[in-house]
Structure 1
């Protein structure tokens, strides 16, 4: 369920932590965390907040899109998964999408298509579906990317989700255009 100011006030109560401050605390905890497991949990938590439009302005102000992109460059598969998951959740918003694109996120998301982690591939496919527009088509619709997505579309027996996401991507951005 999406949040609004009234619902947020009801959930936090009179003395609760305002959402932006809570998100700032999560970002600070991530920056100070020294162990991978703590970082994973924090990024997963931030990615969950990224699905709700109520949080978009807060996440942009706190540079969380950049934090998600940084996670994609890590060797830790969980950080990559949760980072691209956060991007996937937030990129439906045009301002978030613009920030992701301007920060060099498309090549990083494309790299996630080759991940051994199923969720990472799903999130990457969905993010590219939403990020692909006239301004980004040249960067996204490279022959090697289209070929990989075509292979996923034919992998129904192996993974129906990959197949369905890939087919939707191809129909909207390649075969249907």
Structure 2
């Protein structure tokens, strides 16, 4: 459920941790833990916080989006990619985040993940690409390689991928 800053302040106990501080603690835990399971859990939590627009400014300010982008650029681990792409997908509806993603990641690493072995990661990538579709990205997103992959996904037995690929074709055909 979306929140406002006033609602968050109202629900935060007087001696409680505010949202920005809590997210900052999660980032510290992610960066400092050596436990793979803990990294996955923290990353999943951060991706969930990326759902609420009231957190967007905090997420950019304390480096959560940077962590997601770093993983997409540099990691092959399925779980880490799943949580990072989910977080980016949640964040990619905001114009400030769109600009940040385009400036600090670009489309190349995202497009490279379109043929990843995990369907949920691919679904997140398709969603991100639709959200990033604009005048600056049109040529990369409408490239023949992307279109071919989307055509293949539209015939997939996985209904989520099939539906997303069909919507993707509709979105890029309209513009």
Partner residue in 1 for 2:83? 82
The reply to whether residue 111 of structure 1 matches residue 105 of structure 2 is no
TM-superposed deviation, 1:15: 1.4
Q: Which residue of 2 aligns with 1:142?
A: 143
Structure 1: distance between partners of 2:13 and 2:119: 38
Pick which of 18-27 and 2-11 moved more.
Answer: 2-11
CA distance in 2, matches of 1:111, 1:36: 24
Q: Which residue of 2 aligns with 1:60?
A: 60
User: In structure 2, what is the Cα distance between the partners aligned to 1:146 and 1:62?
Assistant: 36
1:125 paired residue number? 126
Alpha-carbon displacement from aligned partner over 1:126-164 (angstroms, at most 9, x marks no partner): 111100111111222211111101111122xx1111111
CA-CA distance at 1:169 after TM superposition: 0.9
Structure 1 contact 69–108 (Cα < 8 Å) conserved: no
Unaligned residue ranges in structure 1 (runs of 5+)? none
* More displaced 10-residue stretch of structure 1: 11-20 or 52-61: 11-20
1:18 deviates by 0.6
* CA positional deviation for 1:170: 0.7
Distance 1:113 1:63 in 2: 25
Task: Supply the distance in 2 between the matched residues of 1:105 and 1:30 (Cα, whole angstroms).
Answer: 24
TM-score calculated relative to the size of structure 1: 0.93
Question: CA-atom RMSD, angstroms?
Answer: 1.2
Structure 2: gaps (5+ residues)? none
| Aligned-pair CA distance for 1:7 | 1.9
Task: Output one character per residue of 1:65-97: Cα deviation in whole Å (capped at 9) or x when no partner.
Answer: 111011222121100111111000001000001
Q: How far apart in 1 are the matches of 2:64 and 2:142?
A: 26
Aligned residue in 2 for 1:176: 174
| Matching of residue 19 in structure 1 with residue 24 in structure 2 | no
Q: CA offset at residue 10 of structure 1? A: 3.2
